[in-house]
Structure 1
């Protein structure tokens, strides 16, 4: 299925367009579209998901079926792509409840079954603890997008990198290391640390106070790497050891009947695949909310209309539209639509994209849809301190009502 290819409007230097936005009408049109898309979810969406899942499984099977012959980048790329698909195409959307409305869907493909408990090692084996990712991503990132409480604001997470006086080539070298290891070195400890804080200080205020009072030089979860620091035991026992044993011991050991060299070849190929899938996922995830044309915000939203505006101007889409393009981008090229409505299926995002863009153009709301390579360029410049993100003061429901009352 091919989504409509259109040219995104330029991001205005002046915020005049947004200052005169009819929030209520804009929000109402988007909400009406959301309800139509929800009503359109059917068993066809599950059939489509199974097709995409099949592509990922084929990649994994072909990768391991050839990895034992000799360590090689082709097998590693296939394994890497299969791993990416489990996270980007399946776990991400299933645990967002995207498929909970599909009639007669098996529980293992719903938010209550996928990667829960022991099924983690079948559905989504990775460094990350699924429930830690759920809270960090599904709750904090999605419902505090661009705010101080959003854990995924790259500009805030890499302050040391941005401020340090070092040659650009050195910054790119450091960035490259984290790009090929980021799930282990950054994302797994950070998501778990945030979950640990939520357990001890539930509620927005308590969590905000804890995060504000904990500003390490690198990132919040970095202390978990030290074996005797508070909470580090959970990190090592739930993130590092289990996945390392699964990926780099158990899977290679399955090839021992073919000889020790076959198992070693699988091990080496698996290590290369891990570096590749880290790079792949970094490049399709991080650029979604970075750039000097993407906005960030102060304070929480006041109503759904303000929420919708923030999700659009605080996110960026990649071009795509065909299944194979969307698959390779982990279906994250529909970031704006996904942030508006996290509870849709892969197929519904393809249908939603041109309609959302048309609504944004109608109301003069900036809508970014560019090549992934352009967005990666924005990300690297932001990461190395060459650009900054745009602050935006959106109008709350109370402010809008006050303005209407004064007219």
Structure 2
């Protein structure tokens, strides 16, 4: 998905317009500081620390025809070096509330804090999603998943602001069109997520362990459960080993997580793709999994077998593949957005040339195109 804006809105106009909304308006804020990739130029930012301020701000900007970029954790954005000419609405709501059946989190709550709080409160279900950066409100948009668990499996409902009608309501999972790393919310800017509600396990046990690597780390059979806290610790160890837990001192974590989604190849093209892989790599076992739309291949495996190893293209490049995980594109400290995009194009085009598979980016690209 790409977000564009064609003009810069004067800061004074925005300040006057949003005076009564409860938002705090800031001028020329470097967006690099608000994203995990740490790239992106300046923009006017409206910080919204309450749901009421968030709703009023979005409604006011929409009524005035001013472009809006919604930003919370900033873990799934690649923003251009030119920044954003409209208004960045920063979702800074933080509420987390538990009931007997689960948890409700406001959209701006840090996702891993929601997971940690659920485990500490004696609930299971979310532990496999530990360590994922970003906000609670982004999880249904992307249908976030890891280690065999997806948000779609646990979500009870989502509170949405409809930007066309102005209506605020709770939507159920069957309305959200969930797929692999996607939902109807990802492909439209019509709705703003205000809160999410998840059903949890009150016995404190984990979701069934259906991911081989995680089950092995816990010395468990696939399908077994373990105490949620034990599983959370194992997940955090595994993610840290791949540079997938944020650490300001580790440039392997200056990323948007997995940059490309695992490609799903239609069944009728599977033989063609496997033949291309065999021609280039040889007779090897190819990690692939059944999918509703065909066969899902491992993007990380394809990238590495196409010749793009960990750390590619090496020093002194400012943007490189992670030294721990080939699926993450990382900022080594001084990269620009264009540096990141150039690396992404090189990897994408190399995989397409060798294997006939076009990788698709997972982050939202703002102000540019891949």
TM over 0.5: no
- After TM superposition, the score normalised by the length of structure 2 is 0.28
Q: Which has the higher strand share?
A: 2
Q: Greater relative contact order: 1 or 2 (C-alpha under 8 angstroms, separation 6 or more)? A: 1
Q: Which has the higher helix share?
A: 1
